[in-house]
């Protein structure tokens, strides 16, 4: 039910997706179909080729006739991509935020992409349905520390915990030694509360925050950029 509300909110809008394309948005069976109702989409991806996607051109064609531009930018901090400032009504990002060492820095920079009162849709994995199951949920205070300490994306301070507590796929551990390049680690483990607190700190008003009842791996957040009148 909640997802239908999200769909209605985003329907007909111009979007930019960070770290896609996303199967979740293109396949009905995940209960999070989205690409079919949006008006347009561009993409941001850090790599031309990365361990998760096969992207080798400058077009972004995630679904059907949707065809946008793919920008190869490090989304952990896109402060310098000023040509994209205030160009979009929606920022989409699924299964990306947990790979970012300094989430507040990232989301704060994503805000620059948004028009006034634009929307932010973030999906992160719920640990009880993935290999992070034995790790503790990250507290918002830690996320804030990472911001205040200017933690950078080469940070490996969570690696010991991941090695001890996570069922992180072994084939990724070699890549994790140079995580700045590979970005495979889940630095943080989000529940809905930490996700919401993080986005609200960055200036978003929460519209929906829920676990997808038909696909419980997905913790979903939809917020709207606060304006001067919010």
Q: Are 99 and 172 in contact (CB under 8 A)?
A: no
Toward Zn ion, which CB reaches closer, 187 or 196?
187
End-to-end CA distance of the chain: 26
Nearer to Zn ion (CB atom), residue 182 or residue 207: 182
Which residue do the tokens 């994790």 mark?
176
- Applying CB under 5 A, does 146 fall inside the site for Zn ion? yes
* Region from 29-37, 47-55, 60-68, 142-150 binding Zn ion, contact rule CB under 5 A: 142-150
The span from the CA of 122 to the CA of 167, in Å, is 24
- Report the residue closest to Zn ion, judged by CB: 146
* Interface region with Zn ion, contact rule CB under 5 A, candidates 10-18, 139-147, 208-216, 221-229: 139-147
In the complex with Zn ion, which residue's Cβ is closer, 105 or 196? Answer: 105
Q: Nearest CA to 107 among 124, 125, 126, 128?
A: 124
Closest to Zn ion by CB, 10 vs 124, is 124
Stretch that binds Zn ion, among 22-30, 126-134, 146-154, 208-216 (CB under 5 A): 146-154
Contact of 113 with 84, CB cutoff 8 Å: yes
Least Å distance between CB 187 and Zn ion? 5
Q: Which residues is 224 bridged to in the sheet?
A: 119, 205
Range in contact with Zn ion (rule: CB under 5 A) among 7-15, 122-130, 140-148, 211-219: 140-148
| Measured distance CA(207)–CA(150) in Å, rounded | 29
Cα–Cα distances in angstroms (integers) from residue 205 to residues 18, 111, 180, 199, in the given order: 20, 13, 31, 8
CB-based contacts of 8, cutoff 8 Å, min separation 6? none
> Of the ranges 9-17, 60-68, 141-149, 217-225, which one interacts with Zn ion (CB under 5 A)?
141-149
Q: Does 153 bind Zn ion (CB under 5 A)?
A: no
Vertex 168 angle, CA 146 and 160, to 5°: 50
Q: How far is the CB of 225 from Zn ion (least distance, A)?
A: 25
Q: Which is nearer to Zn ion, 126 or 146 (CB)?
A: 146
- With CB under 5 A, what is the number of residues at the site for Zn ion? 1
> What is the rounded CA–CA span in Å between residue 81 and residue 100?
18
As measured in angstroms, the least distance from the Cβ of 29 to Zn ion is 33
Least distance in angstroms from the C-beta of 102 to Zn ion? 8
Name the residues that contact Zn ion, by CB under 5 A: 146
């Amino acid at each position: 039910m909640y997802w239908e509300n999200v769909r209605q909110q985003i329907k007909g809008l111009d979007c930019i997706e960070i770290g896609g394309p996303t199967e979740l948005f293109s396949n009905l069976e995940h209960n999070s179909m989205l690409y079919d109702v949006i008006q347009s989409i561009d993409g941001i991806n850090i790599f031309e080729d990365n361990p998760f996607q096969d992207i080798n051109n400058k077009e972004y064609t995630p679904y059907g006739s949707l065809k946008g531009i793919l920008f190869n930018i490090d989304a952990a901090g896109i402060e310098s991509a000023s040509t994209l400032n205030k160009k979009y009504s929606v920022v989409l990002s699924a299964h990306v935020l947990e790979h970012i060492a300094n989430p507040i820095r990232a989301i704060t920079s994503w805000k620059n992409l948004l028009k006034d009162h634009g929307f932010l849709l973030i999906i992160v994995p719920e640990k009880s349905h993935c290999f992070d199951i034995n790790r503790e949920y990250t507290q918002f205070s830690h996320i804030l520390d990472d911001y205040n300490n200017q933690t950078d994306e080469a940070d490996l301070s969570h690696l010991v915990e991941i090695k001890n507590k996570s069922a992180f796929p072994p084939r990724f551990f070699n890549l994790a030694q140079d995580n700045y390049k590979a970005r495979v680690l889940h630095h943080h483990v989000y529940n809905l509360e930490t996700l919401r607190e993080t986005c609200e700190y960055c200036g978003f008003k929460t519209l929906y925050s829920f676990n997808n009842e038909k696909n419980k791996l997905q913790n979903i957040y939809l917020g709207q950029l606060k304006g001067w009148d919010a």
